[in-house]
Every structure is written in structure tokens, then in C-alpha cells.
Structure 1
Amino acid sequence: MLTTHPVGIAAAALWLPEGRSAAADAFGAGRLRARDVRDLGHESVPDAGATAPPDLAVRAARTALETSGTDPGELDVLGHAWMYYQGHDLWSPAHYIARSLGARAALPVGVQQVCNGGAAAVDLVAAHLAAAPPGPAGRPRLGLVTTADRFGEPGFDRWAADYGVAYGDGGTAVVLRRPAAAGDVLHLRAVATYAATDLEEMHRGADPFMPAARTHRPRVDMRATKRAYLSAHGADQFTATNEHAIRTVLERALRTAGIGPRDPRLRHAVLPRFGARTLRDSWLPVLSESTTAQPLDLGRETGHLGAGDAIAGLAELVRQGLPAPGEAALVFSAGAGFTWSCLVVEAPAR
């Protein structure tokens, strides 16, 4: 997405439930090996219990809207992204969120790009705002992006469903404004995305197509589909593609934003919320070769938030007052498909 005129980020919020799921409990139950616990690097992750995923998004959205002073009735578009089951079989959680917030004039849109859904929704909503005509009486065009996921039993084992990733529950929200305003906490300068459709098989494996969810096996098992893929193709293709994709989205995003990879204004690179070993082996070497931005691993207390990693990263940057005025940061996201995204945000000079 080209941002000749930046889109303003008026506020970003991360809402986490109070409940926690402990790695020690998963180890004690035989769901994790000691090596898995070390490789993940999470003592615990948030557990939403019985709270429905869209309600997690509503809580995050209310915080973001109140913080930014945005009337939900003035929202033009609402994009909601998710990875896992939202609570009903044939239903639009985006419409539920809009109704719950009182965003009656907003166009509710669901975005399904698995773990990269939050970044994709930011890109799509920002593009929608950029394409819209000016609002009445000069009012800015306003958009809201939310994500929410709850990785609960019996269909999902948050600790053992995947390799190198533990899944935490939570909701995120970001308020976008076009044109950007002086009071915005950040400006979105660019979003770059790269897709490698040859890798969709990693989450399909050798499984047959089925008529309904979880009729082939009783719970989500990404380890099984990845084993089938690796048995057929080996690991080299994914490793090479992942490295190429990270470099590609980084280069494209910085080129669009007009910032060099070693520009002193570029201070931080927010990593996806994957396990510690996955980041150490697959992400940090590539980034250390490609940019001088300081990597930030903000997911030790949350685990992977499904579609919410990118917006959670934005929210944490805002909470920590990063980057400093006049400086910039990268926010990375990646998910099954496979798709990778990089956002470039800049703190406006005060």
C-alpha cells in the first residue's frame, strides 16, 4: 500500500483476559516435552475461558475508541480478522462487533487471512479510507480494525497444536484516520505483503477435503499436516521462502515509506509472537543482516495471538511511547498460506 499521505493511527489497544494457561501444566499432562517448553519460552499465555472471541474484540475496540475520542457512530468501515472459531457456524462476527459498539454507519467486513489477518485488515481498511471521498464538512474518514481469537478445548490445544508456537487468547483494535491528524499517536507510512501459495499445503497436508469442521480428526492438528508436507517436500523450500519473504516485505515497505534499512530514524522491528526458538532461528538472522532496527520480542507473556500479532505490536509500541517523535518502527506479521506483512509506522514530530 502506497502512503504518499500517511494514514493516522489515532489509538491502538490490546485486551487480554485475566486467566492464564501454564506451560508447566501442559508439560505435566504430557502435552509438551521439556524441550518444547524451552523452545517456546512462554511460562504461560492468556486464557479467555468462556468469553466469546468477538467480545474480546469489543473490549479492545471500546478502549481504542475512548482513548482516541472517536464516536463509533462516525466510523466508515470496520474490519475484523480472526484465525479460529468465533462462536457460531454461519455468522458474521464483524457485524456483531459493529452492532455492539454502535457503529451503525460503518461497513462491517470480515478478513480471513489466518495469522496474518490483522495486518491484512489494516492494509484493506487503510486503502478503503484512502479511496473514499472527503467526509462531509471536512470530517476525516475513520476506520476500525479488530482481531480476536480464543484457542479453547476441545477443538484446539493451544500448547500442542503446532510446532514452535503457543497460542494465547486476546482482542486487539486500532483506530485509523485519513487524513492523518497532528494528535495521532503514530502515522502508518506503508504496508507491504508477500504471499507464497505453494506453501498452503503445510496446513492441508495429506488430509482429504471434508464436509464440516473437525470431521477428519477431533481437534486442530497443524503438526500432522506439517509432518505430511515435510515428508513430501522437505524443509528447504519453506526455509528459503521464509527468508526471502521477510527480506521482500522489509524492502518493499521501506521503499514505499522512503526510509533506508539502516536509516538512524528506523529504531525498532516488532517481531511476530512466535516461540523463542522460531524467532532465534528463522527471523533474527534475516533481520540482523537486513536492517539496523532493534528487534523487539513482545510476545513472551502472550504467546501468538492468532490474527492479532501486528495490532498487538502497534498497541505495545504506543504503550511504551515508541518510537520517539520523528523516528520509525517496523511491525512484522506472518501466517498460514503463507503470507508475510511488514508495516512501517512513524511517530509524528511534536
Structure 2
Amino acid sequence: MRWDNLYIAGVGSYLPDQVETVDEAIAAGRYTEEKKAMNGYRAARVSAPGETGPVMAATAGRVAVERSGFAHDEFGVLVHSYVGHQGLDLWTPASYVQQETIGGSAPAYEVRMGCNAFVGGMDLAASYLYTHPDAHAGLVTGGDAFHLPYLDRWNSHEQNVDSDGGGAIVLSTRSGFARIRSMFTYGDPSLEPLGRCRAEWSTAPFPDGKTLQLDRSMQDYMHNKDIDLDEIVERISGGVQHSVSTALDEAGIELSDVRFFLHQQLAETIAEYGIYKLLGVDREKTTFDWGKDIGMVGTIDIVLGLEHVLTHREPKPGDFILLQCAGGGYVWTAAVVEILETPHWAS
């Protein structure tokens, strides 16, 4: 969808102080030299006790709200995104984040779309703001913490390295330092079995107490002789291409017009073949190599990349930034952002 009066007014992030390097993980027997060479990650952030996903999201949210300049009573919606456990069972983390950031009586929603949830949540928050004229601003947050025994950040994925942190963006229909020209979300639920396959249903979370092995379902699915692997790759690649090309078309620009291309902090091989060669993106336009020292932070890689561009890459008025994200299920979101001015906090 093309947006005419949708702005980014504030950005905030929080990363824990503790850094665990790939070499430390290898020495501890949780990672391998082969994975280091294949995936390219250098380090991950590790949250302290009590630094749950919602706690870190709220910290980032307070920064984004302060930077936006909007008063708490001007916020009409909060959308909180996440991938993993939020610190408590059968709980409402979005309402916690709301109380810790903007308060008030606006509705607080949770979005779960895998790693696509933050950017997909921006799409939902924008739609809410447009259908509620009295709501001038919306806060979108994300936060995750990944810990043993539930999940091993180094070993539960064959290719991803999961890192802890929180991020937030303030959207507004009034003003901001950047304008969102377009956003497009596209889903292909025929790929959902990649994350489920023949896994048995359980009656409660973490039923056997064994650390999650998140690639096992996909591997089982791929070994099914009735599955056409080429078709699966084509559908996943097609989702990336379709979301990006549609967002660009709706914004009225070409990929060559984009100065910065922000995507998730993927493994090296996935980024190379699933983004750069697939789309023809110049790697120098991304924050990928910088992000190797952080890892994949739940739903908020895009926020971290955007804040890094704003504070270290000197974007100028008129520059276009393309946000591209994907989540298991499968769902893709792409957004075209135009820089209007350098925010005061980034200079």
C-alpha cells in the first residue's frame, strides 16, 4: 500500500552488555569451526537475569518515545512483537510494554509472524492509525531473550545465531524525520509445514524439557520423497521478490534508487544467495557486515540496522531506505522509507 502521510518519528534500541563470541561458543562445545566459516557470525548479545524480551522492548520503547517528541496521550496504539518466550506463561507482554512506555488507554496488540513480526506489526499499526484519526502516533516494539535449557542460541538452529535485545519505532500520521512511502505484506501458508512437518501436538510448552532443535522439522519435511525442493526454493525466493518489487512499485521508485537496503541478520550463505544475488542488491548498501557482531535479534534486526544507518552512515534528505523482512509461515514485508531530515538525536 502506498502511504501519503505516514512518518517515522522515533527509533530506539537496547542490547545487553554481555557479549559472547563465536570463539567462546566453540571452546564451550556449543558451536563449530564449520558453522563459523559457513554462517559468518562473530558474536551474540546475552541478556542478564530479569532482562526478558518485554523488559528490553520497554527500555527501547522509552527511548523511541522520547526521541519522537510526542506526548504519551497522543499515542493511539501499541503493537508488540516477539519470537520466543516472554518471561511468563499465559501473560500479556504487550500490556506490560504499554504500561512501561506510554501508559494510557490505547489498545495493545501482540504480533507473532516469526522474524517478520516487527515490520509486519508496523504495517498493522499504520493501518490502525489511518482508521482512527484521533490517534496521532503508534508505538511498535519487539524484544526477545533466548536462554538454555529452552533454546541454545548457538545450536538450536543450523544457521542462525540468536541474540537478545529490544527495539522500537514510533509511527505517526502527523510528522517525523522520515516518511514511509509504501509497505507491502505477502503470505504463503503453503510453506507452513516447513516449521511443523510431522511434529506431535503437545498439551503444554516445553513438554519434554529438551532444548529445541528448530531445524529438525524442516529437515524431516525436506526428506519427504513427495516434496519438490525446487518448488519450495522458488516459492520462498518468489516471496522475497514479490514483496520487494511491489513495495518499490507502490513507492514509485526503482531498486537502483535505494541508498540503504536493510534486511535481517541472516547467515552468510542465505544473505548472499537469498538477498544479494537474488535481487541484485549491493552488499555495501546494507548493515550486514556490521551486524555480524550482534547476531539475529528476534524480530528487531531491521530496527538495529535503521538506527545504525541514522547514527553512523549519514543519510541525507531524499535518500531511500528499503526495509525487507521474512518470517516462517511464510510471510514477507517490505517497506520504502524516505529520509526527510537528520533526526536531532542522530547528529
> Is this contact kept in 1: 2:287–2:305, CA < 8 A?
no
Task: Quote how far apart the aligned CAs of 1:322 are.
Answer: 5.0
Task: Quote how far apart the aligned CAs of 1:328 are.
Answer: 0.5
- Indicate the residue corresponding to 2:285 in structure 1: 294
- Cα gap change, 1:56/1:95 in structure 2, threshold over 3 Å: closer, same or farther? same
- Identical-residue share of aligned pairs (%): 26
List gaps (5 residues or longer) in structure 1: none
Q: TM-score, normalised by structure 2?
A: 0.92
1:269-308 alignment to 2 at 5 Å? 269-288=261-280, 294-297=285-288, 298-308=290-300
> Is this contact kept in 1: 2:142–2:168, CA < 8 A?
yes
- Indicate the residue corresponding to 2:137 in structure 1: 142
The secondary structure found in structure 2 opposite 1:307 is coil
Q: TM-score, normalised by structure 1?
A: 0.91
Task: Quote how far apart the aligned CAs of 1:79 are.
Answer: 0.4
> Is this contact kept in 1: 2:150–2:209, CA < 8 A?
no
Aligned pair partner of 1:176 in 141, 166, 171: 171
- Cα gap change, 1:322/1:7 in structure 2, threshold over 3 Å: closer, same or farther? farther
- Cα gap change, 1:304/1:146 in structure 2, threshold over 3 Å: closer, same or farther? same
The secondary structure found in structure 1 opposite 2:223 is helix
Instruction: Give, as a single letter, the amino acid of the residue that structure 2 aligns with 1:72.
Output: H
1:329-344 alignment to 2 at 5 Å? 329-344=321-336
List gaps (5 residues or longer) in structure 2: 343-347
Task: Quote how far apart the aligned CAs of 1:96 are.
Answer: 0.5
Task: Quote how far apart the aligned CAs of 1:127 are.
Answer: 0.8
Instruction: Give, as a single letter, the amino acid of the residue that structure 1 aligns with 2:124.
Output: L
1:42-53 alignment to 2 at 5 Å? 42-50=41-49, 51-53=51-53
- Indicate the residue corresponding to 2:11 in structure 1: 12
User: For residues 83 and 115 of structure 2, what CA distance do their matches in structure 1 show?
Assistant: 6
- Cα gap change, 1:25/1:235 in structure 2, threshold over 3 Å: closer, same or farther? farther
User: For residues 72 and 85 of structure 1, what CA distance do their matches in structure 2 show?
Assistant: 28
User: For residues 241 and 315 of structure 2, what CA distance do their matches in structure 1 show?
Assistant: 22
Task: Quote how far apart the aligned CAs of 1:216 are.
Answer: 5.0
User: For residues 243 and 323 of structure 1, what CA distance do their matches in structure 2 show?
Assistant: 29
- Indicate the residue corresponding to 2:35 in structure 1: 36
Question: Are 1:198 and 2:193 an aligned pair?
Answer: no
Aligned pair partner of 2:159 in 161, 164, 168: 164
- Indicate the residue corresponding to 2:63 in structure 1: 63
Task: Quote how far apart the aligned CAs of 1:349 are.
Answer: 6.0
> Is this contact kept in 2: 1:162–1:221, CA < 8 A?
yes
User: For residues 14 and 185 of structure 2, what CA distance do their matches in structure 1 show?
Assistant: 26
User: For residues 16 and 90 of structure 1, what CA distance do their matches in structure 2 show?
Assistant: 26
User: For residues 113 and 226 of structure 1, what CA distance do their matches in structure 2 show?
Assistant: 17
User: For residues 232 and 5 of structure 2, what CA distance do their matches in structure 1 show?
Assistant: 34
The secondary structure found in structure 2 opposite 1:31 is coil
User: For residues 323 and 201 of structure 1, what CA distance do their matches in structure 2 show?
Assistant: 41
1:20-43 Cα offsets, whole Å, 9 max, x none, are 222223222332221101122222
Task: Quote how far apart the aligned CAs of 1:237 are.
Answer: 3.0
Q: Which moved more, 1:313-322 or 1:196-205?
A: 313-322
- Cα gap change, 1:105/1:293 in structure 2, threshold over 3 Å: closer, same or farther? farther
Instruction: Give, as a single letter, the amino acid of the residue that structure 1 aligns with 2:285.
Output: Q
Question: Are 1:188 and 2:188 an aligned pair?
Answer: no
- Count of residues in correspondence between the two structures: 338
1:71-122 Cα offsets, whole Å, 9 max, x none, are 2232110000000000111011010011122421321111111111001110
1:199-278 alignment to 2 at 5 Å? 199-215=191-207, 218-232=210-224, 233=227, 235-263=229-257, 266-278=258-270
User: For residues 160 and 308 of structure 1, what CA distance do their matches in structure 2 show?
Assistant: 21
> Is this contact kept in 2: 1:73–1:106, CA < 8 A?
no
User: For residues 292 and 38 of structure 1, what CA distance do their matches in structure 2 show?
Assistant: 18
Instruction: Give, as a single letter, the amino acid of the residue that structure 2 aligns with 1:335.
Output: G
1:218-253 Cα offsets, whole Å, 9 max, x none, are 222112111111111364233212221111011110
Q: Which moved more, 1:82-91 or 1:232-241?
A: 232-241
> Is this contact kept in 2: 1:64–1:175, CA < 8 A?
yes
User: For residues 171 and 231 of structure 1, what CA distance do their matches in structure 2 show?
Assistant: 36
> Is this contact kept in 1: 2:177–2:341, CA < 8 A?
no
Instruction: Give, as a single letter, the amino acid of the residue that structure 2 aligns with 1:211.
Output: T
The secondary structure found in structure 1 opposite 2:239 is helix
1:99-118 alignment to 2 at 5 Å? 99-118=99-118
> Is this contact kept in 1: 2:149–2:209, CA < 8 A?
no
